[in-house]
Amino acid sequence: MNIHQSTGFQSRGWIPLLLFLLAGIGLTSCEDLLDVDSGDPRDKLVDTWKVTETSGNYKSALEVYYVEISKHQYDSARVVIFNFYNVDAAAEAVLQGNTLSLPHQILEGGYTVSGSGQIQGSKANEIIWTYTVYDGSGEENNVSDFYTRLTF
């Protein structure tokens, strides 16, 4: 055998195939790392959500807007909902199982809110909210929201 001849493994066809297989294994391993469950039940809520809102007194028609849910920085049982009630203010909710409690709180702008939400769907991709809003006018507003997770 000539010293300049390639053996089977060193031939040009094997090296690219071997590199391709190794890259595929590496990507699969990284993907598995990204899907690791952190054990934090709030993870299922962290996302952008489309809100379809039916309001009793203050808003005259069905309203559609978006909110962003993130983990509370200091309380491991709470989430923060940005643009709650479509007033560009953040509300805090407590997560327990598939229920979100919206404790009595005053949002920026003077809106007092309280109520609850129920997480539904096989992948926790829906939340049904019922809550009240008081803006100081003397009349409470009963609100029903339907949140749908946006999947990108």
pLDDT value at position 29? 42
| Euclidean distance between CA atoms 107 and 91, whole angstroms | 6
| Euclidean distance between CA atoms 97 and 83, whole angstroms | 23
Amino acid identity at 124: A
Structural domain 41-149, CATH architecture = Beta Barrel (2.40)
| Euclidean distance between CA atoms 46 and 83, whole angstroms | 14
Q: What is the block-wise mean pLDDT of the chain (152 residues), using blocks of 10 residues?
A: 52 50 47 58 95 79 92 96 96 97 97 97 94 91 94 65
Q: Where are the domains of the chain?
A: 1-36, 41-149
DSSP code for 7:
P
Q: Whole-model pTM?
A: 0.73
pLDDT value at position 132? 96
